[in-house]
Structure 1
Amino acid sequence: MDRAPATAPVESPSGTSPAPAAPEPPPLRPRHPLTAWAAGLLLVVPGLLVGCRVLDEDGPTPVPQLLSLLPWSAVPAALGVLLAAVARRRALVLTAVVVLTATAWASLPHQPQLVTSYGLPLAQVRVLASNVEFGQGTAALTETIRRERPQLVFVSECDRACGRALSAAFASELPHRASVDADGSVGSVLLSAYPLRDEGVIPAAMGMPGATAVIAGVPVRLQLAHPLPPVPGQVDSWRRELGRIEAAAARDRSGPLLLAGDFNASQDHAAFRSVLEAGHLQDAARLADASRTPTWPMEGPLPPFVQIDHVLVSEDFTVRAIRFLDVAGSDHRAVLTDLDLRGGR
């Protein structure tokens, strides 16, 4: 069989051989649209919370409830960054990184002002704030008071039986009291080793008694805080009652002030930060570098994740130590704070 003659290469008009054809580009990888959607959804809540933090607003339900989880929202934000990178969407990756960075910034402990206390210490004061959950933690709180020996005790949700039990148990050590005597969560008691005067109550659904104690010759205003929680349907009431606490803090800021209790709000809530700013107050936990120590919930399927129990102090005090104590029968940790009351410059 005859072989077909080899085909000669075709020359270009100039007489040179043509350049070889460029190789075809490799096929593009798929961009995973479902992964991109998942990344975007993970960023919605962190972005919303950071936006409210920047705007200094608590917003409507469910924002106040979700703000209690603001530091934990860094977890979905970080997953959003990872999924955005897998999806190979540059704009989405950039957005996710911005949201994660802003979440980390918003989670830093709130420091409204740098406070420096002057003067020599006039007295050492130990303060205990505890929510005993409808009186169920009364027995455990009694043991805690005996062991820790505070001079001031702020007790929320202390019903009539709780109030009688504490007053009888500490008639000698804490003989002075201001209270709202009521059942269930409405009752509250403020016990003091120092004489009290000018007793009053902030109007609220739950008891918030206050008084002035004379400590080392200095009048110190004491106020128990226990506004309604920001559950759906009563966010406006929660905001209104925190506003009344803010007004009381602003009114009493001319002298030493101790404001303690279950605020049902964390440093991530604008309404709580307004209380600090109005009274020129600091959270004792922040001054002791413990402002993210959770105090609630101590019961139920979830571990404690938010600090809503606080001891707030004016610049007349320095914080020597703070501890968070479990109280059997209560869904809150108690806050035990050692303070120095200081004189003038």
Structure 2
Amino acid sequence: MSKMILYIVSNLESSEITNQLYNILRNINRREFRPKIITLLKEPEDSVYEDFERLKIDIYSLGLSRTKLWLKGKRILAVTCEELQPDIIHTIGYDADILAVKYLSKFKHCSTICNFPYEEYTTALGKIIGKIRDKRYVKYLFKMNCPIVSSYSLRRKLKECYDVNAYTIPNGVDEIYFSPVDKLEISRRREKLGLDTTKRIFISIASMSKIEDPLTIINAFQRANISNFATLVLLGYGPLLKKCKKYNSEGIVIKGKVDNLREFLKCANIFISSSKSEKLSVSVLQALNCGLPVILSDTKCHREILNKDNTVGNKFSVGSISELKEYFRYYTRCSLEYKSKKARIVGETFYGSKIICSIYERMYTQIISQGII
């Protein structure tokens, strides 16, 4: 008989977290597993709730405000889980994680930890509130049966900082939706987006924050003095957006938050990340699947990617404008055909959604049969 996997999330807003859940459920073996979802909070305007409905998955929406969630949501959640009797609960997000540890301890449980807690909370909430939230979350992190992280570097960091043992499953990317296109299609897409059809396009997709360090990319591109041959496109939203937008020019295009990230990826040539974080960004994996060579800051999670096949790109020291400047110059003139093919192979082989889903299936089976991994 198939095993019930109950996913508990805050809501189904359009986000990296939700996309990862969607990729699992789109590929999961329905003969072996019966997935169901509980959402805790009201759905936001950018909810992709209907996308999950089309997968014909039962969704139980509590539809609570955040205040009501902590006043009476715990009781409603516990009653719902008692009625469903899942074989395993998989939580994603702060609220779901804490509620599961506190009130659903009788069920087998795994949890996806998307970022290093301290980095995530201090970036989003500021140092004081972020530290308070980090301290609270870590208390429950110690009690989780099976925390899951997206990179080995994040796993090591959790162990070093919190003495927490985690299981590693990389983020997955829809290998069909994110795939290479031919030169004619690239030109057509660039015309539609108002981008130059003759220049090489470097693209970066990340939050405009200190930890993602977009100013290093901008300064390195300016110093490379290649705007006659290349264009830099930065996408993302955050506290540094206003400052970054001052650099908008013929060679530098800063769009902020957009809804069509894939369209930009499919008409670019090279992807760049200057991140200081140990989070393995989905944008990097999407770029690889689109056949884009990558220039990555030398963090441990980025080394994991380049260690799969170092021909897919290069790394530069974190915050090094001078090193990145030289890579801008090199990638403006070098042949990209071989690197592009290798990038696609790495993306599809190691980070394709079908591969990642099969890893989750093995993990679920092991937890259900043995209780822990």
Structure-1-length-normalised TM-score: 0.31
Larger radius of gyration: 1
Structure with the bigger percentage of helix: 2
Structure with the bigger percentage of strand: 1
Structure-2-length-normalised TM-score: 0.29
